[in-house]
Structure 1
Amino acid sequence: MKAFKDYIIQFVGLKEGEHHFNFDINNTFFQNFEYDEFNSADVKVELKLIKKTTLLELYFSASGFVNVNCDLTNEPYDQAIEDEYKLVVKFGAEYNDDNEDILIVAHGEYEINVAQYIYELIVLSVPIKRVHPGIEDGSLQSDILSKLEELSPNEDSKTKSSEDIDPRWNNLKKLLTDK
């Protein structure tokens, strides 16, 4: 838990109004969560905290990149990250995080750890299917990609002429039209 001490915000001493916090996220942050999907990371997270008398509003904004491997070719590339998240912190009898947009903390609490919310914001902003941009524009040259193209079925083999069809199928097709 000592690794996340930089992500603890003590809101008790803050005046009512708007407060800004900046976090630089790199691979060490994800290693603390034992998450190893990223080769490297460089994400800037800006947190705007609006303190009101009965609640806190947290606005997270993440921008930067994470280096991931392509799902098709396993080639590493930089995936851009741009995402936002809003969290409302209310005070209640006991801690409750069942709702993803509302966090309820006990009345006696004086600080909140935002590391988990930053982690989820970045991880969930990466697309499910990670495709190297060089595949889409045709500029990527790799051995795996050339092997995939070699093994893909040809368009010529998909279109069969009527001569290649077994004549027994034609008799079966007549049953459909003879109704």
Structure 2
Amino acid sequence: MKQKEFIIPFSGLKQGKHEFKYVIKNEFFESFEYDEFNSADVNLTVLLNKTSTMMELDFIASGSVNVNCDTTNEPYDQSVDSDIQLLVKFGEAFNNEDDEILILPHGEYEMNIAQYVYEMLVLAVPQKRVHPGIADGTLKSEALDKLEELQPKAKDEKENKEESDPRWDELKKLLTDK
């Protein structure tokens, strides 16, 4: 999928509402040299409301990306649901410093929304990726078994097993002898 599909030639559109639909696959993220996803299948709808002085865009995404769990490195499908709004105005010079307002120079006839789509979807995936099988106990993996084996023992178990050190006992008496 090339990013050119995300160029919207708005000058030929009548005033009013327009809808654009996209299916985002992993090739889209690869075009940004982003390789954190094993695969992607996200449906994107862009609603454009064009007026005489500006345009409002609503991006609505829903689908899933396949990522590796941070704990076990097991791949799983992470659901992705996100939406953002973008206001497009016209001015003297191009300005995209504001996340919610894009200013295009007078005379522009098209805009590329690929960067907004990319950022929205990458930010929709949780920073810490945990396989759902870890939470409900259904995932069986060598990594989880090893983590459980290396997990520190509970504090109560240690205290019951260890004999008290006579040197500390003498010091403890000082606390109680007043």
Describe the superposition over 1:121-173 as per-residue Cα deviations: whole angstroms up to 9, x where unpaired: 1100000100000000000000000000000011146663696362365267x
Instruction: Provide the residue aligned with 1:109 in structure 2.
Output: 108
**Letter of the 1:97 counterpart:** N
Residue 125 of structure 1 is matched in structure 2 by: 124
After superposition, the CA RMSD in angstroms is 2.2
Residue-by-residue CA offset, 1:2-41 (whole Å, 9 max, x unaligned): 9311110010011111000001100111110000000000
**Alignment CA distance shift 1:18-1:149 (3 Å):** same
Structure 2: 5+ residue stretches without partners: none
Query: Match of 1:139, SS?
Result: coil
When the two structures are aligned, how many residues end up with a matched partner?
175
Partner of 1:167: 169
Give the match for residue 65 of structure 1.
64
Q: Whole-Å Cα distance in 2 between the matches of residues 27 and 145 of structure 1?
A: 28
Map of 1:19-168 to 2, 5 A cutoff?
A: 19-156=18-155, 160=159, 164=164, 166-167=168-169
Gaps of 5+ in 1: none
Report the secondary structure of 1:60's partner residue: strand
Report the identity percentage: 52
TM-score relative to the length of structure 2: 0.91
> Aligned partners of 2:60, 2:170: CA distance in 1, in Å?
65
Distance 1:154 1:10, change over 3 A: same
- Tell me the distance in 1 between the aligned counterparts of 2:141 and 2:21: 39
SS of equivalent to 2:129: coil
Q: 1:108 to 1:138 in 2, by over 3 A?
A: same
1:170 alignment partner AA: K
Distance in structure 2 (CA, Å) of the matches to 1:47 and 1:169: 72
Secondary structure at 2:133 match in 1: helix
Structure 2 Cα separation of the partners of residues 96 and 164 of structure 1? 70
Moved over 2 A (4+): 156-172
More displaced 10-residue stretch of structure 1: 153-162 or 30-39: 153-162
CA distance in 1, matches of 2:20, 2:173: 75
SS of structure 2 residue aligned to 1:12: helix
Secondary structure in 1 aligned to 2:126? coil
